[in-house]
Structure 1
């Protein structure tokens, strides 16, 4: 792709807009011919929560299933368009945004001008979404449960995983494409700006000895401490929060004074519609034993962010406000090492939302209608070629640590042995070319992994987003950022932001020093010691081309769909009738739960998409008023094979006392509980 826009100083109208910091304040238009068309922005979202019963993606365990729903899984999109350049920034609440699925989504929206070369899809990496939708079978792997681990046939399935679940694959493609279409149809005049904040006390580095190897400290597992980092404890994590704020410009009637008389005038007003949100934090705050589909900490973070933006901006109810939260260089970053569970996930998410709102407010002080907007894309082959640090491998091989999982949730083999298979190396170097001292785990076939890695550099105003198709560690991300900044020599770019888990999933990307230690992350870098360096080299070349300083690498010819066709049948819509089984009790209060149950159909098919399944109402002055619904964070439900649903309202602390009820609105039936009383 050739550049279509060039960095330039804001025009007079841009300067006026930048000065409009107050939300909802009129935006004055100044005279003067524009040098380039203003930016247009649109937002969209769609519910991607599937029926229940899938293994939870990310935990790789057959005994961890999505038996119900806590927070809905979502696809959210921001589309930016300026001067013929269009780019979509999308997030999906899945453990991975696999390349074939992204290609399918782009193909389904080709009539709107999208291809896999301008759609940037980042996975939140929640470990509480479905699995089984990957185009390459290894990512559909689930480990045998402790109950079946003694059965040899269970390992046959582990090493030769099931093919793609085409029904689920088709459902996800349709729903993600819907979010993208909504955002593109929503395009309109806008202003954008960047803001940053720090969040230093939420995450920790879960592989501290591997990180310390980057500083030349070689320590056995369990001997490392963050304080040993010569650059300080904060250097072991990535505390940066980056927000791309987007506001819609609309014509609105507002009070004004003309010739000394109060009247109403038509003025352009900035209405906030959301932001692209970036922070590095693993989606493992909820443990694998919490068998509800949920967004993990991302759910509270985005919902609190969106609700507060709507409140501060006095945004009308009909206008969508969207927080598009992917993930950064989170490979070794976790908020789930010391504490786990839904309460902690909410606590973490609220802390993230507060930092994101600080960054969003900072962005409001420097908004423009005419940002630099451009992007470059390529696809790199893992074909055994040399990187700037040495050779890579053409043979994808997981290592021994993959078998027992990460610190937040070990696998069933660890359940039996109690031994994590980390920090173990082969005495023979390069028994497999390019893999150093890795102890290999046999796979059914090498073609069960992709070998074409898509990469983006996207410039928006004075920042570059650099993507990686997997989970980079904090130091990997730091090196990507520094090498790009060094290579482009300024060029008006103040900051590089690494977006991980984007447009494909190659598991982990670590530094060569971390790879040598063979912790879980290093053992899960499948293309050898220098795989991350090879991709960094390509990102540097893309960034140089983006800023007019060199040629972009030619893309490797590769079809990420791997023969998978999105031809799955639609899911059924569930039962046509239901009945209450147990009514909510009286006398509960804030901080407690209100249980209830009802008979419907099995499989989670009763749940509607995009609209409320469960709604809490409170009686006020003789009328029922909505308090909450299951698109927020305080309702959850699960269903068994006989269709018996058990629901819970997690009553917020400080909830108003009074008479309440819960409505159940399924695809095929509607129920209402008996009224119940909350006390103070």
Structure 2
């Protein structure tokens, strides 16, 4: 009996020690990290005047541009929180794609797509500030939409909460932030400069089988859901299957209109690549992006590069439908290519629907949850609180044992006690409110909307579940109907201009799965957002160019620096290991690999051209290798990888180079890796292999 009591006491003490340790670890950055002050002004854009204006044809105009936004090696990755790892290279590089649209009358629209884990209010405001002097794009005409890859960088958010807890290491990194802002602003400016007379077509198609609902225990609580089954077949049905695509064709020198590209939406988490992985990766979106681009290039052969920028619809509980036990690169490719094939069919079906008659409106409003008007109060909680279910992680991302302990396990709601957060079981109980003041959480909500002909898109800084998005779509469609606007497509886009966690329905919230635990402003978040979105849409349709934004923004953020420290190279590039082939296995794609000595990560700019493959039919004279569609085999694609393998001496470092899914050679054909010159180092060529 005494031994049992002792063990119980020791067990309780151990739990208390762990809880206190976790609390101290969580609060430490808030006590010790320096604060950086980011100030941004709402700058009026530069209007087109004089001769330049007179030279422009009076018709619909569009421009598209791309910039690479792959940060350096060593940046913490965001999406899997503590289970993430610092980036050690890339499997495929991350991009930002800018789509500039300008009607004959009225203001332009700038849709900025980014291969990032989430959007960011401070980033959107900064990009708008940077482009105002050189474009006619105002802050309320620009929206940043993310793919939500969980293999991208963190440390660029507008709240301490997500800068500290969204990644594996804490703090807002001013260098990561400014790098992203400058690259994205450059894409916007180029898209504006490249504008030309254009035509547009909009369509949608269904894609079942690529996704499945990961939170069926919460989803079936919705009062309007008749089918209460929670099996795999039901999970494949409880998803948003729509690919919605906006195609843009531009006027070429020969007088014809040729494809420029498209942006599209789909509802799928960027979680095909699991936690604990290191390289940057665009996830399923990388294959979706590049394959559709390749199909357009091959089929239409336009006189310019083609750009596809897909981003999230309401995806909060919709996961990639990867096969059990096979999650990773192989399944990510399979799902992404399936999306690209369906989108390609849709793209081609729009050939005869292109028009230069374009109605285009955009609008944006900002609300501060900590300073709501009397009219807006009463639905959102006065302060944000994170539920214990958030620590337990989403289904299929569980980590033993924490995800299975009752306080953190999904479906473990608290008894409602009358406060605004209802069934939510607070993480760290009242210690959370003591350690994290309300302003540490995201609290400035940017709601944006745009209409392009028969398409209405509302962008929100939340991860919106399938049913929550349905209810929001109904609300905004009703608002449009009251303005006598007929719509064929209504899209609710997650991860737009910020990040606030999740938005579930009140019924889903009551179940306290991961998504409900991560709905940080309470059970009525979705009804609130539906109401506010409908009001914004009504204002936009009544008053084109509507916005309600401050003149100035100030963000005080806990900061840290993760950019690699500069190390002067004193050695020379050399090959350390000859290329060797690894055959395919159940979990591994076939690939060639070599190891080389190169400059330190501080001089490896991953956003610049780096790797490519060359071939030779005699082993002596090499040329750039292209694939079957005529595209160079280089790091603009999805199959060349660089991985940092540690520092060496003389300011150098070791790297693995890999070529996945290589060409099956004809007899006598040779290949070699090529690494571009940099930092006084000559172009590197591996030894030939076949």
Q: What's 2:393 paired with? A: 405
Q: What's 1:23 paired with? A: none
Residue 321 of structure 1: which of 300, 306, 321 is its match? Answer: 306
Is 1:278 matched with 2:277? no
Is 1:603 matched with 2:601? yes
- Compute the displacement of 1:418 (Å): 9.8
Equivalences for residues 358-373 of structure 1 within 5 A: 358-373=345-360
Is 1:72 matched with 2:93? yes
Q: What's 1:250 paired with? A: 252
User: Residue 119 of structure 2: SS of its match in structure 1?
Assistant: coil
Q: What's 1:637 paired with? A: 642
- Compute the displacement of 1:567 (Å): 12
In the alignment, is the contact (CA less than 8 A) between 1:392 and 1:528 conserved in 2? yes
Q: What's 1:20 paired with? A: none
Distance 1:534 1:402 in 2: 22
Distance 2:349 2:560 in 1: 43
Measured against aligned partners, the alpha-carbon deviations of 1:299-323 in whole angstroms (never above 9, x if no partner) come to 111011111111111123xx22111
Measured against aligned partners, the alpha-carbon deviations of 1:496-519 in whole angstroms (never above 9, x if no partner) come to 111110001001111111111111
* Alpha carbons of structure 1 residues 249 and 461: separation in structure 2 relative to 1, 3 Å: same
- Compute the displacement of 1:488 (Å): 2.1
Is 1:513 matched with 2:507? yes
In the alignment, is the contact (CA less than 8 A) between 1:66 and 1:291 conserved in 2? yes
Equivalences for residues 98-177 of structure 1 within 5 A: 98-111=120-133, 112-142=135-165, 162-177=170-185
In the alignment, is the contact (CA less than 8 A) between 1:602 and 1:640 conserved in 2? no
User: Residue 585 of structure 1: SS of its match in structure 2?
Assistant: strand
In the alignment, is the contact (CA less than 8 A) between 2:259 and 2:300 conserved in 1? yes
- Report the aligned-residue RMSD: 3.2
- Compute the displacement of 1:377 (Å): 1.2
Distance 1:295 1:314 in 2: 26
Measured against aligned partners, the alpha-carbon deviations of 1:564-586 in whole angstroms (never above 9, x if no partner) come to 99999998597474211111137
In the alignment, is the contact (CA less than 8 A) between 1:470 and 1:502 conserved in 2? yes
In the alignment, is the contact (CA less than 8 A) between 1:608 and 1:666 conserved in 2? no
In the alignment, is the contact (CA less than 8 A) between 1:455 and 1:468 conserved in 2? yes
Q: What's 1:584 paired with? A: 579
* Alpha carbons of structure 1 residues 666 and 327: separation in structure 2 relative to 1, 3 Å: farther
In the alignment, is the contact (CA less than 8 A) between 2:598 and 2:654 conserved in 1? yes
Provide the TM-score with structure 1 as the length reference: 0.82
Q: What's 1:330 paired with? A: 315
- Compute the displacement of 1:216 (Å): 6.4
In the alignment, is the contact (CA less than 8 A) between 2:73 and 2:87 conserved in 1? yes
Residue 673 of structure 2: which of 662, 673, 679 is its match? Answer: 662
* Alpha carbons of structure 1 residues 648 and 387: separation in structure 2 relative to 1, 3 Å: farther
* Alpha carbons of structure 1 residues 579 and 417: separation in structure 2 relative to 1, 3 Å: farther
* Alpha carbons of structure 1 residues 450 and 561: separation in structure 2 relative to 1, 3 Å: same
Measured against aligned partners, the alpha-carbon deviations of 1:132-156 in whole angstroms (never above 9, x if no partner) come to 22231111234898xxxxxxxxxxx
Q: What's 1:624 paired with? A: 623
- Compute the displacement of 1:373 (Å): 0.8
Is 1:651 matched with 2:643? no
In the alignment, is the contact (CA less than 8 A) between 1:630 and 1:636 conserved in 2? yes
In the alignment, is the contact (CA less than 8 A) between 1:76 and 1:90 conserved in 2? yes
Q: What's 2:689 paired with? A: 676
Distance 2:59 2:567 in 1: 44
Q: What's 1:155 paired with? A: none
* Alpha carbons of structure 1 residues 569 and 550: separation in structure 2 relative to 1, 3 Å: closer
Q: What's 1:422 paired with? A: 410
Provide the TM-score with structure 2 as the length reference: 0.81
In the alignment, is the contact (CA less than 8 A) between 1:37 and 1:370 conserved in 2? no
Equivalences for residues 186-201 of structure 1 within 5 A: 186-201=194-209
In the alignment, is the contact (CA less than 8 A) between 1:209 and 1:219 conserved in 2? no
Equivalences for residues 33-52 of structure 1 within 5 A: 37-52=58-73
Is 1:528 matched with 2:522? yes
* Alpha carbons of structure 1 residues 50 and 413: separation in structure 2 relative to 1, 3 Å: farther
User: Residue 491 of structure 2: SS of its match in structure 1?
Assistant: strand
Equivalences for residues 534-549 of structure 1 within 5 A: 534-548=528-542
User: Residue 584 of structure 1: SS of its match in structure 2?
Assistant: strand
Measured against aligned partners, the alpha-carbon deviations of 1:446-484 in whole angstroms (never above 9, x if no partner) come to 211121211112011111111111110011111111122
Q: What's 1:357 paired with? A: 344
Distance 2:508 2:375 in 1: 17
User: Residue 410 of structure 1: SS of its match in structure 2?
Assistant: coil
Q: What's 1:290 paired with? A: 277
* Alpha carbons of structure 1 residues 602 and 610: separation in structure 2 relative to 1, 3 Å: closer
Equivalences for residues 421-460 of structure 1 within 5 A: 421-431=409-419, 434-441=420-427, 442=432, 443-460=435-452
In the alignment, is the contact (CA less than 8 A) between 2:77 and 2:152 conserved in 1? yes
In the alignment, is the contact (CA less than 8 A) between 2:362 and 2:546 conserved in 1? no
- Compute the displacement of 1:115 (Å): 3.1
Distance 1:130 1:516 in 2: 32
Distance 1:132 1:183 in 2: 27
Q: Which runs of 5+ in 1 are unaligned?
A: 1-35, 146-160, 253-267
Q: What's 2:461 paired with? A: 469
Q: What's 1:15 paired with? A: none
Q: What's 1:90 paired with? A: 112
* Alpha carbons of structure 1 residues 629 and 121: separation in structure 2 relative to 1, 3 Å: same
Q: Mean Cα displacement is larger for which, 343-352 or 386-395?
A: 386-395
Measured against aligned partners, the alpha-carbon deviations of 1:76-127 in whole angstroms (never above 9, x if no partner) come to 1111012241111111111111100111111000111233211110111101
In the alignment, is the contact (CA less than 8 A) between 2:380 and 2:524 conserved in 1? yes
* Alpha carbons of structure 1 residues 551 and 132: separation in structure 2 relative to 1, 3 Å: closer
- Compute the displacement of 1:163 (Å): 3.2
* Alpha carbons of structure 1 residues 418 and 351: separation in structure 2 relative to 1, 3 Å: farther
Q: Mean Cα displacement is larger for which, 47-56 or 596-605?
A: 596-605
* Alpha carbons of structure 1 residues 46 and 164: separation in structure 2 relative to 1, 3 Å: same
Residue 218 of structure 2: which of 194, 210, 218 is its match? Answer: 210
User: Residue 491 of structure 1: SS of its match in structure 2?
Assistant: coil
* Alpha carbons of structure 1 residues 491 and 292: separation in structure 2 relative to 1, 3 Å: same
In the alignment, is the contact (CA less than 8 A) between 1:48 and 1:73 conserved in 2? yes
User: Residue 280 of structure 2: SS of its match in structure 1?
Assistant: coil
Is 1:500 matched with 2:494? yes
